[in-house]
Structure 1
């Protein structure tokens, strides 16, 4: 009897211990003003989930009680703009510029300076404005929640119109005789965004598909329309959409739910009653027939216009609340277009329509399926349309290749179940909000197993083919858009804006001109003004005592598998192997460096001895979670003279599939057919098209890479494998393929033979120790196939040249960079530089370049290798920004921060050092530590330096920064007219069209 009682007690204790604090919640009961609507364990997120409704305000709240220290708070609003003014986007910026309880100019920037956040941002979508923050420190987490709730519900925009002027737009005139210009952070951000032809394409297509509802306007703002936004319209937008009754609050992680509910209710929601209006987004009425339109986008004068047109065919398909339909069209996008052997891709290639094609399924209340061809011509429109519908009919009649579909579904399932992001809360936010908004059911988006199970029926039924027939072939709610290049269009648009502003000035009386000058000066003074200590004290912050002195250290064990050196990071990965093969690129002669990058873009897409490229793609999808090759580099001991360039082969699979992963890897490395000229030409043409698109859409990265190539080995390597030099290289190969094909093939074969040898290989693996044996068996298989070839390492000798170039583009804005390497000037790295970087980026440059200058961003970087950069992002200025950089030593000389301000800067610096990581990211960090010869003692010393940084330490860095800037190394990616106007600043003015 006693024995039975003993086991009964044990069972009871086990039951009690297994019940977390969240288990006290019962559906239908009220907790701190919230009624629990539903409690559900969601297998896909491995957590109990609680859906609440706040009785007084009408706010909805979902808690995902995951055992994750990286806690996330998010409040989202359903926002439905009716104009292209960009009101939701400007509102997103503006509410973070001071609130009732935190009356500083920008609580967001103060938090960025000094919080332990792991994520801090706000985002605007076509029907959502959302405010997520995350932290692994609970005190910090509640501080962030407090500031964000106050920002969205009690912003200072009602009493301070200068916020709209700064963040949105305003007229600026510095003297009565001067010109009037438009200025504003979002105004310039969107000028930068719409410098991308693809952004213009998306905007024009949305206007075609949704002429009568919110999806037909730009929530971000169309540059020419933003200046139509008035303060009255702006304020009314907040009143309508930012009521808590239109809010959706997501809480994720291991914070105490009771404490969260109590705080949110008592501090905020209890102060509101139910809203008078429910926000609805009406459906766009279907069309009777497909619409067609032709629009233009700007290219510089003299730029080629042939093969530069976009063709876009789009269909409105169902609603986002139908999760099976959404996943079905994700699969169709891959099977029909994006896969290497997808039928529409092959049909367009054969017809010579464009250089690349892609498909995309966009989820809003009404979804759209879009097929886009780039690098085509306007006269291709009818042929394009004809080929699409003929291919669709052939697919409906004959069906998709089931093996290909199986591979695509397998890769989709692998990705969904892996969830390889440290920001799980943010991922679940993005998965849940559409069904939450429009079906009142966030679980629909989280529970992916059911639609996944439904989609798997495509392997035995005509699910995909029927969806195409129903939603594409017999769907008139569609549009065909031609977006063609137009030389000089940007100059015309700029001239139209100039005339518009001249007309505006003409209408002003002398008194009004003086008033505008006064307002300009007053706004600049407001932007320069420091927040008072009393205002800053309202922003909650941690103490240095809240910061752990411990570092995050990840290391590898060195092992040997079949004569291959292996570095292993042992961690739990849920049975997944994250595999890397690192081949030393110094086996290559210097002239073949660009060919290594080209090789990374060909491998896995070519026919091999045993597979067609389509079958290879299918096999990879069926048996792996991903396969990729790329070039990268490390600096041993952070020394730029000790460059370690690598050709990386990355693959991931379950442990059980290790043998197949390495068999396929060997097939790619050893048996790819470079001499298939037709296929090679297709791939190089497509690759050039993608590089061309990247260089037109990613100005900041190309600017920074080019700048570093002036003075560093690592920068020159990056330039040759991914910068303007590489663009020129791949464009030459594409344009002259027929004449150079034999040379290209010979160089690719030579490059591969130099690289792929077991003697030139270090393998790296991130997996649980129990899965290492499966990995070893697979790697041993690869080792038995790889040749042994001891090739000596070359000593590359790069020629450095401070070219100081200005790159003329069709961009509406600039990316202005300046920098150098301080080690070349005799200085050494110190961890305190991390704090200097935080101060300059979050205080000095943020204020001078963004707030006052109107750019979307201004920041800098100091690396332990010595490389330093100052950079602006989507900047309306050029010369003025360089002048601001040059004033930095003066700022440092007069830098004055009390202990509270220094603590804030130090905490913000630590936040950038202590980021959450997935198992694969931890493995990557361990690999980096190995190659760079980092030590825990070195990282500990760096952290100690950061935590002990003083105001005096910062001031002592003035001379080093001055010496860096005195080197006058600059690069500007910008508007063709703006660059030409400032030609005297450059050693050379260049164009990617030359």
Structure 2
């Protein structure tokens, strides 16, 4: 089921019980360190003893999932129910991590980023809760993180220091009397970036109408226009109301000592509180008498076409998140009605020519919402859209859903739930349990998914999908038909309104008030630049270098030959699952066919084949496998940009007993897909173009980074053709001119497939244990025997490099500013100490200049072993100021000085980015990467040793390299059209994406 997490603040990212297990030591009804054990049980689905406690004095709730997992997680969450769009929960989430009673530094959070072995360090704001998870595989580090987080939420400095709200939320900034007043603030700019995505605007407008009377009708993250209405008084009062232990939900996961955990939490924090009389409830929204309709707008660039840019949405308030079985049923319904390749509503909309893509999902908040969204439609399609949705739902409710389709959907759902393929199991269980815990006071229903899954599986033998459709959708008046249409120039209009508002504010100030605001601005900047005292820094707990292992973790590959095909086997326990990849070298293609490889990867598995319609194929893949996808990926041999190894990958996973069917289906797709089916190609191309265009709007930083790297790098130039702006143009041209280019498209797809899918161009890989390898062997023999056995010739592509320095104009409210170059092209060699340099730049210099002072959501650097170096900002209100800060980096490095403790923090923080928990499939993937890139254990040992031995002098000595990189003056900016135009002199060329 979809979890109701609206905002994600990311700073960075089988049980076996001992003799002294919680099962034996802890007994229900008994008291332990101020906690009463309410319930304990072994939960089969998590394969662990789970113990539910209530803290007697404070009322805090605590769940321990006592899995024998060294990746321990601590989390504390609060039910938070905002009543306006100011984003108070979100700003609070940021702000509590800016210093506290026991850790009186400006940001313990940033210090932990620099120097903790965390495997997960995070905070998240949902529509109805705020949660603070941290994880570590090191016991000492785990308790340190727990200590800092508990102090942050219960004793934050924000209660007495208004500068924290000003920095993290918003403030008026006035540098001098002659300057304009501007809004600054991290969350303010984060949400400007978030609402540059029309999908976020659509969700906001829908909820505003569906829930006019409760918390779901407001933006917990903050609507940019409303954020400046938040006052310090309201901010403090929000903390006092919601951040009491009686409103808290503490989750402990992993193999830490439970007795020690309970003792620490009680003694240091919860024992200081008494029960609160405050009851945090969410009233149910009164249902509508009839369906509502609304029309809203979103911003596109001035002069952009509005054709095929409208969102059509139909939403139904249906069910409650605490009903796990109903939530799972809605998830099945979303796929069976809409998301499946041959789902009836998808087919009906395709036939009617409405939109380019459609999707459905169920948002399981306290009050759930079933959501159907069509992208790239037109306003005049509204009535037809509504008619088709209701007529299709009525038809399937009467005639029934395809049971084979439903079987496949349920099989895939069950496979993924039982596989649990994430190294962050604690986070997975947190998200599974919070709805039933917060709104039914019982965390177990969300964890014990077998019983509700069996209820959902009744869709195979009963009509529960049909009755659910009728009851909650067809006959449900608590619904909304929304049209969100593009408005060219809207962002410029909104920007002008904000400027006028700020001008009026400034004009209304007396001279004395202006002086006071200027002084306040200076004081805030001075505070942001001020270093924490050594005494304050010493309060933040840290590890020692002695706590860090000098050993590396290595993942072996067994290289085998099966019927003259090279096979790479990573031998590890996978619980009877085969994780299989087939790799085909893309260098068999001439340069002009490179983008067709990417396009082909988006089509395979969705086309008709000789023996299956695409709907039947989707069913078969769902029933017989745990997943199927095709994609392109790239390796750099010896980390050299001149030795690019691009691969077309066919990925499948299945249980060993279904290996034969898995390979049979892979063979069907690779060798027998109908690449000449014009009607189906047009449908898929239209949808793919819509998704690529959506990505352009949503991931500006990624497009700017790829574009920048294409100026000077083979890897970058290749990536432009497969995932960058050039690829977007390629796909858009084919889509818009399909009728005249379809023959050319088919010819090139067939040529691409013929050159790729040959036996001598195949390398197989599998992650599984030895006993399951025979099942893989049988399957791959059959598949490769059906591939053409022809000689392979690899092309050596040549790319023209040119420093274009482009400004990409969009309707974005913020900027993504990137600058960089390749250090190897300047004569430098990569070494492990550069990892520490990157940690220093990202967590200190750029964090402070770009985020804390500049107000961007993020500022960071990247240095790869291939030589690529970049400086980047994320959701940034600035442009030239950010570039100027990048250019001051050598000056910062020249003055860099860190004492032993600070240097240790940087090194430990670097190691935490190198180490981390991995699933079996991830370990296999890493082993494959090492193989293709020719990475050796000795290389990794050398790199780790370099990291552990880095000194302040090493960091300072890299000043010249950074200076030389910045001197190349290679930049790319994706940003607001007005801002880019104002800085046009910085660019070689300004491009309008015409979104």
For normalisation by structure 1, the TM-score amounts to 0.98
Structure 1 residue 555: deviation in Å?
Answer: 1.7
Q: How does 1:814-833 map to 2 (within 5 A)?
A: 814-833=815-834
Distance 2:260 2:159 in 1: 31
* 1:423 aligned partner: 424
Q: State how far apart, in whole Å, the 2-side matches of 1:259 and 1:473 are.
A: 54
The aligned runs of 1:393-404 (5 Å cut-off) are 393-404=394-405
**Alpha-carbon offset, residue 958 of structure 1:** 0.3
In the other structure, the counterpart of 2:209 is 208
Aligned alpha-carbon RMSD (Å): 0.9
Q: C-alpha deviations, 1:475-529, integer Å up to 9, x for none?
A: 1011010000001100110011001001101110000000000000010000000
Q: Indicate the residue corresponding to 2:78 in structure 1.
A: 77
Q: Distance in 1 between matches of 2:375 and 2:738?
A: 19
Structure 1 residue 278: Cα displacement: 1.2
Secondary structure of 1:318's partner? coil
Map of 1:380 onto structure 2: 381
In structure 2, distance between residues paired with 1:692 and 1:945 = 43
Q: Secondary structure at the match of 1:350?
A: helix
The SS at the match of 2:360 is strand
Closer, same or farther in 2 for the Cα pair 1:245/1:16, shift >3 Å?
closer
SS at match of 1:44: coil
Look up the match of 2:293.
292
User: Which residue is equivalent to 2:576?
Assistant: 575
SS in 1 for 2:990: strand
**How far apart, CA to CA, are the structure 1 residues paired with 2:531 and 2:184?**
21
Measure the CA separation in 2 of the matches of 1:738 and 1:217.
Answer: 45
Cα offset, 1:552, TM superposition: 1.2
SS at match of 2:175: coil
How far did 1:22 drift?
A: 4.8
Structure 1 portions without partners, runs of 5+ = 1-14
Question: Which residue matches 2:611?
Answer: 610
CA offset at residue 188 of structure 1? 0.2
Which aligned pairs between 1:787-936 and structure 2 lie closer than 5 A?
787-936=788-937
d(CA) in 2 for partners of 1:639, 1:24? 56
Quote the residue 2:348 is aligned against: 347
1:721-760 to 2 correspondence within 5 Å? 721-760=722-761
Would the aligned equivalents of 1:22 and 1:257 in 2 still touch at CA under 8 Å?
Answer: no
Aligned to 2:25: 24
Deviation for aligned residue 1:960: 0.3
Structure 2 match to 1:108: 109
- Kept in 1, the 8 Å contact 2:707–2:724? The answer is yes
Q: How many Å apart are 1:638 and its aligned residue? A: 0.5
Question: How much does 1:274 deviate?
Answer: 0.3
Partners of 1:290 and 1:55 in 2: how far apart? 47
The residue correspondences of 1:433-512 to structure 2 (distance < 5 A) are 433-512=434-513
**Cα distance between partner residues in 2 of 1:747 and 1:731:** 16
Q: Is the 8 A contact 1:300 1:809 kept in 2?
A: yes
Q: How has the CA–CA distance of structure 1 residues 547 and 199 changed in structure 2, closer, same or farther, with 3 Å as cutoff?
A: same
**2:689/2:735 contact within 8 Å kept:** yes
In structure 1, C-alpha distance between the alignment counterparts of 2:432 and 2:852, rounded to whole Å: 34
Q: CA deviation at 1:20?
A: 2.1
Deviation string, structure 1 residues 739-759 (Cα, Å, up to 9, x no partner): 000000000000000000010
Mapping for residues 156-171 of structure 1, pairs under 5 Å:
156-171=157-172
* Contact 2:98 2:107 (C-alpha < 8 Å) held by counterparts: yes
Secondary structure in structure 1 of the residue aligned to 2:873: strand
| CA apart distance, 1:791 | 2.3
Give the corresponding residue for 1:5. none
Question: Could you report, residue by residue, the CA deviation over 1:785-809 in whole angstroms, capped at 9, with x for unpaired residues?
Answer: 1111212111100111110000000
Q: Distance in 2 between matches of 1:827 and 1:24?
A: 59
Summarize the alignment of residues 154-233 of structure 1 with structure 2, pairs less than 5 Å apart.
154-233=155-234
Deviations 1:383-429 (A, max 9, x none): 00000000001101110100000000000000000000000000100
Q: Is the 8 A contact 1:636 1:643 kept in 2?
A: yes
2:300–2:994 CA contact under 8 A, matched in 1: no
User: How far, CA to CA, are the matches of 2:422 and 2:490 in structure 1?
Assistant: 42
Superimposed CA distance per residue, residues 860-891 of structure 1 (whole angstroms, 9 cap, x where no aligned partner): 00000000000000000000000000000000
Tell me the equivalent position of 1:123.
124
Q: Is the 8 A contact 1:310 1:482 kept in 2?
A: yes
User: How far 1:23 moved relative to its partner?
Assistant: 2.0
Q: Does the 8 Å CA contact 2:300/2:489 hold for their aligned counterparts?
A: yes
Question: Which whole-Å CA distance do the structure 1 matches of 2:784 and 2:648 have between them?
Answer: 17
Q: What is the alpha-carbon distance in structure 2 between the residues aligned to residue 240 and residue 330 of structure 1?
A: 35
Secondary structure at the aligned position of 1:121 is classed as strand
Give the match's secondary structure for 1:601: helix
Task: Name the structure 1 match of 2:154.
Answer: 153
Structure-2 residue corresponding to 1:565: 566
Partners of 1:346 and 1:33 in 2: CA distance = 59
In 1, the alpha carbon distance for the partners of 2:717 and 2:861 equals 20
2:666 counterpart of 1:661:
no
Q: CA contact under 8 A between 2:759 and 2:789: conserved in structure 1?
A: yes
SS in 1 for 2:814: coil
Deviation at 1:18, TM superposition (A): 5.0
Change (3 A) 1:899 1:350: same
Q: How far 1:993 moved relative to its partner?
A: 2.5
CA distance, structure 1, for counterparts of residue 24 and residue 100 of structure 2: 36
Tell me the alpha carbon deviations over residues 554-608 of structure 1, each in whole angstroms, 9 at most, x when there is no partner: 1201001121100100000000000000100000000000000000000000000
The 8 Å contact of residues 813 and 974 in structure 1, kept in 2 or not, is answered as yes
Q: Deviations over 1:187-207 (max 9, x none)?
A: 000000000000000000001
Judged with a 3 Å threshold, the aligned counterparts in structure 2 of structure 1 residues 780 and 208 are, in CA distance, closer, same or farther, namely same
Alignment-derived partner of residue 3 in structure 1: none
Whether contact under 8 Å (1:120, 1:133) holds in the other structure is yes
Structure 1 runs, 4 residues or longer, greater than 6 Å off: none
TM-score (norm 2): 0.98
Name the SS for the 1:208 alignment partner: helix
| Alpha-carbon offset, residue 363 of structure 1 | 1.1
Give the match for residue 93 of structure 1.
94
Tell me the SS of whatever aligns to 2:877.
coil
Distance 1:538 1:500 in 2: 43
Give the C-alpha shift of residue 17 in structure 1. 6.7
Map 1:700-739 → 2, pairs under 5 A: 700-739=701-740
- Corresponding position of 1:619: 620
Q: SS in structure 2 opposite 1:640?
A: coil
Deviation for aligned residue 1:716: 1.2
Deviation, 1:903, is 0.3
Which residue pairs with 1:672 in the alignment? 673
Deviations, residues 417-447 of structure 1 (Å, cap 9, x unaligned): 0000000000100000000001111001001
CA distance in 2, matches of 1:733, 1:548: 53
Which residue of structure 1 lines up, in the alignment, with residue 4 of structure 2?
none
Q: Distance in 2 between matches of 1:521 and 1:736?
A: 56
Separation in structure 2 between the aligned mates of residue 347 and residue 482 of structure 1, nearest angstrom: 19
Task: Answer whether contact 1:814 1:874 (CA < 8 A) is retained.
Answer: yes
| CA apart distance, 1:159 | 1.3
Aligned to 2:3: none
Q: Equivalents in 1 of 2:791, 2:402: separation in Å?
A: 43
In the alignment, is the contact (CA less than 8 A) between 1:700 and 1:815 conserved in 2? yes
Match of 2:318, SS state, is strand
Is 1:243–1:275's contact at 8 Å kept on the other side of the alignment?
yes
CA contact (8 A) 1:756 1:787 kept: yes
- SS for the counterpart of 2:368 is strand
**Partner Cα distance (1:534, 1:119) in 2:** 27
The answer as to whether partners of 1:706 and 1:719 remain within 8 angstroms in 2 is yes
Which deviates more, 779-788 or 736-745?
Answer: 779-788
Tell me the equivalent position of 2:594. 593
Aligned length: 980
Q: Does 1:974 align with 2:938?
A: no
Partner of 2:940: 939
Report if the CA contact (8 A) 1:205-1:481 is conserved: yes
Alpha-carbon distance in structure 1 between the residues aligned to 2:271 and 2:409 = 48
Q: Distance in 1 between matches of 2:953 and 2:520?
A: 37
- Cα distance between partner residues in 2 of 1:325 and 1:925: 38
- Contact kept? 1:102, 1:539, Cα under 8 Å: yes
